[in-house]
C-alpha cells in the first residue's frame, strides 16, 4: 500500500511539473500585419521575440510582462500594473515683474534653472513686465530668479514645483537704484 501511494504521488508530481514547464500560447487577435498572442512562461521566465519586438518575462508571469513597443503600438502585460511615472507633458510658466507701486518693469532678466533643463534659460520682461517660459517639463522643481540693473528685489528667486501651467508668478521690486 505504501509503495502504491508513493507511485501515485510521484506520478502526480511528474504530471504537474510537465504542465508547469510547458510554454502556452493562445492567439487573441489578428489583423493586417500583426498578431497579438497571450503567452505564459512558467518555467523560470524567458524571452519572446518576433520581428521587431522582444519581451522579457519572469517565472509565472505573462510573457508580455514588460513594456513592449514598436511602430504605433505599445503594450503592458503581466500580473503587476506599472507604477505611474512623471508625465512627459510640457507646461508654461509665466508671470510679471512689478515695481512696488504695481507698474510692470521692462527689460528685467528672468532666469529659470532646474533638474530637467540642460542649461539655464533666460527671458527679458516685456514693456508691461510680463515674461513666459514655454516647453517646461511638468513634474519637476525649478528656480526662477530676476536681476535688474535699476531695481532691487528682497526676494529675487522663487522655487516652484510644476504640475500644471503657472500663470501668476510675481516678483515685486523693493527699491530702485
pLDDT in tens, 3-18: 555 555 655 555 554 5
**In terms of pLDDT, which residue wins out, 30 or 134?**
134
Higher pLDDT, 62 or 160: 160
- Asked if 108 and 151 count as a contact pair (C-beta separation under 8 A), the reply is yes
| CATH number for domain 90-176, candidates 3.40.980.10, 3.30.70.20, 3.40.50.300, 2.60.40.10 | 2.60.40.10
pLDDT of residue 63: 46
* pLDDT over 60 at 57, yes or no: no
**Structure confidence at residue 116 (pLDDT):** 82
Residues 105-153 pLDDT 10s: 999 999 999 978 999 999 999 999 999 999 999 989 999 999 999 999 9
- The band of 33, judged by pLDDT with boundaries at 50, 70 and 90, is low
Average pLDDT for 51-65? 55
CB count within 10 Å of CB 151 equals 21
pTM: predicted TM-score of the whole model, two decimal places: 0.52
- DSSP character string of the chain: -HHHHHHHHHHHHHHHHHHHTSEEEEEEEEETTEEEEEEEE-SS-EEEEETTEEEEE-TTSBTT-S-EEETTEEE--SSSPPPP-----EEEEEEEEE-TTS-B-SS-EEEEEETT-SS-EEEE--TTSEEEEEEEETTEEEEEEEE-SSEE-SS-EEEEEESS-EEEEEEE-SEE-
pLDDT of residue 21: 47
What is d(CA 123, CA 109) in angstroms, rounded to the nearest whole number?
6
In the chain, pLDDT over 90 holds for what percent of residues?
46
CA dihedral 75, 77, 83, 86 (to 10 degrees): -10
- pLDDT at position 9 is 62
What is the Cα–Cα distance from 172 to 113, expressed in whole angstroms? 20
| pLDDT over 50 (residue 175) | yes
The ranges assigned to domains in the chain are 2-75, 90-176
Which pLDDT value is given to residue 39? 54
Tell which wins on pLDDT, 147 or 53: 147
Amino acid at each position: 500500500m505504501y509503495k502504491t501511494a508513493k507511485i501515485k504521488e510521484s506520478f502526480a508530481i511528474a504530471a504537474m511539473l510537465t504542465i508547469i514547464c510547458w510554454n502556452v500560447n493562445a492567439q487573441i487577435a489578428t489583423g493586417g500585419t500583426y498578431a497579438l498572442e497571450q503567452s505564459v512562461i512558467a518555467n523560470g521566465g524567458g524571452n519572446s521575440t518576433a520581428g521587431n519586438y522582444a519581451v522579457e518575462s519572469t517565472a509565472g508571469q505573462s510573457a508580455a510582462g514588460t513594456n513592449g513597443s514598436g511602430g504605433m503600438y505599445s503594450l503592458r502585460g503581466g500580473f503587476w500594473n506599472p507604477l505611474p511615472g512623471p508625465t512627459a507633458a510640457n507646461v508654461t510658466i509665466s508671470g510679471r515683474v512689478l515695481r512696488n507701486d504695481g507698474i510692470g518693469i521692462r527689460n528685467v532678466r528672468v532666469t529659470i534653472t532646474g533638474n530637467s533643463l540642460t542649461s539655464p534659460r533666460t527671458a527679458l520682461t516685456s514693456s508691461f513686465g510680463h515674461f513666459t517660459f514655454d516647453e517646461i517639463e511638468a513634474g519637476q522643481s525649478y528656480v526662477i530668479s530676476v536681476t535688474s540693473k535699476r531695481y532691487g528685489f528682497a526676494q529675487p528667486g522663487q522655487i516652484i514645483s510644476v504640475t500644471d501651467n503657472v500663470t501668476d508668478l510675481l516678483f515685486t521690486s523693493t527699491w530702485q537704484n
